[in-house]
Amino acid sequence: MVKTLNIVKKLSLIYIALVILYYLPLINTFTQILMKLTPFALYIYWTILTLICIVVGAKYLDKMLGE
């Protein structure tokens, strides 16, 4: 039970961090920095972040179903 709570707390913190990263491009300065790198930087940012969310979600689901 304690192990499950630790996993849930850890993954909850990861999800909060991912939500913050999703809203980060709403800050104009961050978007301008990305767009100076390459025109597709924002698209690449969203794609990588989405893949990270899928992997973390799969691990979370696996841990919850395995307990």
pLDDT of residue 66: 73
Q: Tell me, what amino acid is at 19?
A: V
**Global pTM value:** 0.65
pLDDT of residue 67: 61
CB contact set of 12 (below 8 Å; sequence gap of 6+): none
pLDDT of residue 42: 81
Q: Which residue has the tokens 């990588």?
A: 48
Distance CA 29, CA 11 (A): 29
Distance CA 18, CA 23 (A): 9
- pLDDT(1) > 60: no
Domain enclosing residue 49, as ranges: 2-66
10-64, pLDDT tens digit by residue?
777 888 888 888 888 778 888 788 788 887 888 888 899 889 888 888 887 777 7
User: Into how many domains does the chain fold?
Assistant: 1
